[in-house]
A and B are shown apart, each in its own frame.
Chain A
Amino acid sequence: TQLLEQSPQFLSIQEGENLTVYCNSSSVFSSLQWYRQEPGEGPVLLVTVVTGGEVKKLKRLTFQFGDARKDSSLHITAAQPGDTGLYLCASRYALNFGKGTSLLVTP
C-alpha cells in the first residue's frame, strides 16, 4: 500500500490569501488525483495528473506534479470562502488516499 502524506493537516486563512498544500509519497506515483470534500458530502474529483512536471490549472487552483512523480502540490490563488473543504490526494485507482488538508477560508 502506497502511503500518502498530506500537509499541512489544517489551514485557516482569510479571504484573498494564497495557499499551497502538499501531497508526498516515498514511492513513485503512476498518477495522482486531487479531490475536494465539503462537510457532509462525498469527495468531488478536481484533477488527475499523470506526467512528471505536469501543471494543470482549474480557475484559481494550480496543480503540479513533481518531476520525479513522488510529490504534488495544490496552490490556490486569492482564496474564497467557497474553497473551504477537505482536500484529498489519491494514488492510482484512488485505492490509497491521504488523510487530507482541512482548509477554512473566512471572509
Chain B
Amino acid sequence: DVKVTQSSRYLVKRTGEKVFLECVQDMDHENMFWYRQDPGLGLRLIYFSYDVKMKEKGDIPEGYSVSREKKERFSLILESASTNQTSMYLCASGLASSYEQYFGPGTRLTVT
C-alpha cells in the first residue's frame, strides 16, 4: 500500500512564527503536492513538484514556500504564519505517468 505521512495531525502556532509541515511518501513517486482545504473553497493547490529540487506554483502560493531535497520528502514552509493560513493542509504524491494521487491524513493548522 502507498503510504503518505505528514509530520503532525494537529498544530497550533502563533502569528509570525515560521512553520514547517513535512510530508514523506514511501512509493518512490516523482510527483508531490501540497493543498489546503477550507470550507466552501474546496481543495486548492499551493505548490507541486515533479522532481527533486523542482517546484511549481499552484493557484495560491503567496505566503508559502516549499523544499524538496529528497525524492520522498516534500516540505511546506509558512515563512511568517498569519491567521488566514489556519486551514487543513493535505500532502499528496503520485507517479509521473499517472493521474492518480495518494493523500496523507492532513495537518490541521491553527494560527492564533
Contact = CB atoms under 8 A, between A and B. Distances in A.
Interface residues of B, number: 24
B42 A97 contact: yes
Interface string B72-106: 00000000000000000010101000011111111
Nearest to B48: A95
B43 A42 contact: no
Q: Is the interface of B mostly helix, strand, loop or mixed?
A: strand
Contacts of B105: 40-42
A81 B88 CA distance: 24
A45 interface: yes
B107 to A, nearest CB: 10
9 contacts: A33-B101, A40-B106, A42-B90, A42-B104, A43-B90, A88-B42, A93-B99, A94-B33, A95-B58
Q: Which 8 pairs of residues, A with B, have the shortest CB-CB distance?
A: A42-B103, A99-B42, A97-B43, A94-B101, A31-B99, A43-B103, A42-B106, A42-B90
